[in-house]
Amino acid sequence: MPPDTPAGRTEQLGRHAAALLGFSIPISVALDNILLVLVAVLWLAGGDFKRKFADIAASPVALAALALFAMMAAGVLYGSRYPGDALRFLAKYADLLFIPIFITLFRDARVRELALRWFCAAMVLTFVVAELRILGLLIDNPVLPRGLGFTGGAFKLSITHGLLAAFAAFLFALLAQREPHWPQRALFAALALVAVKNVFLVSISRTAYLVLTLLALYYFFIQFGKRGLGIACVVMAALFAGAYGGSEAFRERVGTVVAETGEWRSQWPSRESVTVRQEWYRYSLDIVLDHPLLGAGTGSFPRAYAERAKGANTPLTPNPHNEYLLIAVQTGLVGLALLLHLFWQQLRLSARLATPIETHLVRGLVITMAVGCVFNSLLLDHTEGLLYAWFTGLLYGGLRSPSG
């Protein structure tokens, strides 16, 4: 579409609004929502739907995302739930609808590069704010979330900050590898190390520790082949040893996992996180077994769990902190298969992306989400779910045709 026409200018504005989400996602939920509305309005106002729908139809990733959302939408038509939960839960998965929109907006390589720069800028700001906060220079700042104490993050709480930092470390390492000039390469390498420091010494997220370890294994593998796996193990062992020796918070988190897992008994539930999660998983699996094919309906989890755990000495929860179980409870094995199909399509098509860095980034994104979803309901969480949708659309905007 010619950029000097009204529709062309609207399209350009939509692309830049989509790119700017890279800056807002790590920082502001309010700005995210404003930009999402703007992106949707500009996408509709831009017209050219024949081309847009053709792009979507040609993208297996876009179709897989739409299929998963369609299943979640169908899930509101059956099952029982507390009033309002059907639409409340469905709205949480609306980010999936933006994947096809982002794919059509990120066709231009220059816009994709701009979007990555916005995300990098947001993460640099995040690290600066986190450091200032730890130094006690941002106490009672109304812009930052409450309850962080001296660990956690900058604009987000601990788990989210840790996952953002882990993925940013991977991104900065890839950018350092791509950069031909040594000053810029050194800068990106330094930022990668700062991100790693944030995972271990700022965040107290055990999910982020695991995600970073797997991303490091993959990064060193693409750098050095099978030898890289050994190098990664040595590097991560050194980092874990250093963090364990130098950070009381890190020692406590590791010690808690070992102690709680060893003490767990299904008949002796505790309110500690690891033990309670095991209880959540057990009762959630029971619900899945009761409704194996299509689940208990979208938004059904809070009520179904409360009924299943009635009389048990375990805290109730609005979600099981496991996206696979949450999807399966709501939409059964069909919904779970559609989620895994989406991840598989991303991995299957990753080699056809526009550049090597985009190929590696989407694989890192799937690693981050696939692992994170074992311990958290990431698609239900605003920042993580939108980050996944945004990066998926960004990277698959550059998908080449099979003959390309």
pLDDT per residue over 371-392, tens digit each? 999 999 999 999 999 999 999 9
Interval 29-46 mean pLDDT: 95
pLDDT per residue over 47-103, tens digit each? 889 999 999 999 999 999 999 999 999 999 999 999 999 999 999 999 999 999 999
Interval 161-181 mean pLDDT: 95
pLDDT at 268: 40
pLDDT per residue over 317-335, tens digit each? 899 999 999 999 999 999 9
pLDDT at 272: 46
Q: For residue 19, what are the CA distances in angstroms to 28, 142, 185, 379?
A: 15, 27, 24, 21
pLDDT at 309: 82
pLDDT band at 312 (very low <50, low <70, confident <90, very high): confident
Please state the separation of Cα 17 from the chain's center in Å.
20
- Specify the amino acid at residue 332: G
**Residue 29 above 70 pLDDT?**
yes
Question: 0.85 exceeded by the pTM?
Answer: yes
Q: For residue 169, what are the CA distances in angstroms to 77, 216, 368?
A: 42, 9, 12
pLDDT at 237: 86
pLDDT at 257: 52
pLDDT band at 150 (very low <50, low <70, confident <90, very high): very low
Sign of CA dihedral 116, 322, 324, 261: positive
**Residue 263 above 50 pLDDT?**
no
Q: Are 165 and 195 in contact (CB under 8 A)?
A: yes
pLDDT at 222: 93
First to last CA, the chain: 22
pLDDT per residue over 185-222, tens digit each? 999 999 999 999 999 888 878 899 999 999 999 999 99
pLDDT band at 261 (very low <50, low <70, confident <90, very high): very low
